[in-house]
Amino acid sequence: MKASSSALLPRNIPHGFRIVGDRPARLLVTVNPSGFDQFFSDLSEPAQRLELPPPSQPDIPKRVETAKKYEVEILGPLHLFITE
């Protein structure tokens, strides 16, 4: 996808994303119906300052536990499912 692109990610259809290049990416996620937005809140940490934090590695155990709570199945690293 390119800057300003959008995608529809239907429920119960496996999906993921990866960042290609050496620049950080930003995502705007909207959820309909409401409720699943709490999944992202549960994985988030409050900002310490009014700026983007430095990149960091994800907390995989926290993601797995949070996913179970919302009945989300984590299939594994995206590169295992994509062939180019």
Helix-strand-coil split of the chain, %, nearest 5: 25, 0, 75
Q: Which residue has the tokens 């594994």?
A: 76
In this prediction the pTM is 0.65
What pLDDT sits at residue 82? 65
Q: From its phi and psi, is residue 4 left (phi > 0), alpha (psi between -120 and 50) or beta? A: left
What pLDDT sits at residue 68? 94
Q: How far apart are CA 53 and CA 16, in angstroms?
A: 22
Q: Is the dihedral of CA 30, 33, 38, 43 positive or negative?
A: negative
Q: Which residues of the chain fall below pLDDT 50? A: none
What pLDDT sits at residue 67? 93
